[in-house]
Amino acid sequence: MKLFSLRSNLLSGLALAFSMQAFAGYPVDINSASASELASGLDGVGPAKAEAIVAYRDEFGPFMEAEELVAVRGIGAATLERNRENILLSSDPELNLAE
């Protein structure tokens, strides 16, 4: 019985480690990414928050620094910090498309 419990705990730990890796995110340019790219690339940002980021960007223009994300409803300091290394900023998304 103890061996079963140990094996079960080991498998649970491995599953947790792999699931955390799956939600690690990847670099995303918040000034040019679509809502679906934002949702899949940023940890803790689902479709609704991603749409809010795009709507904010459309209304107020491109983000000049990552910290401006907290002005978007639903994005707090914890979400910003969790994703800081994956947030990219282009100063002019149109110039990046031409390159």
Nearest to 64 by CA among 47, 86, 89, 45: 89
Per-residue pLDDT tens for 39-83?
999 999 999 999 999 999 999 999 999 999 999 999 999 999 999
Tell me the pLDDT of the chain averaged across its residues: 82
Segments making up each domain of the chain, as ranges: 25-98
pLDDT of residue 82: 96
β-bridge partners, 28: 87
- Which percentage of the chain shows pLDDT scores above 90? 65
**Nearest in space to 76 (alpha carbons), one of 26, 34, 32, 42:** 42
Query: Which position has the higher pLDDT, 91 or 68?
Result: 68
Degrees to nearest 5, angle at CA 74 with 88 and 44: 60
Q: Specify the CATH class of 25-98 in words.
A: mainly alpha
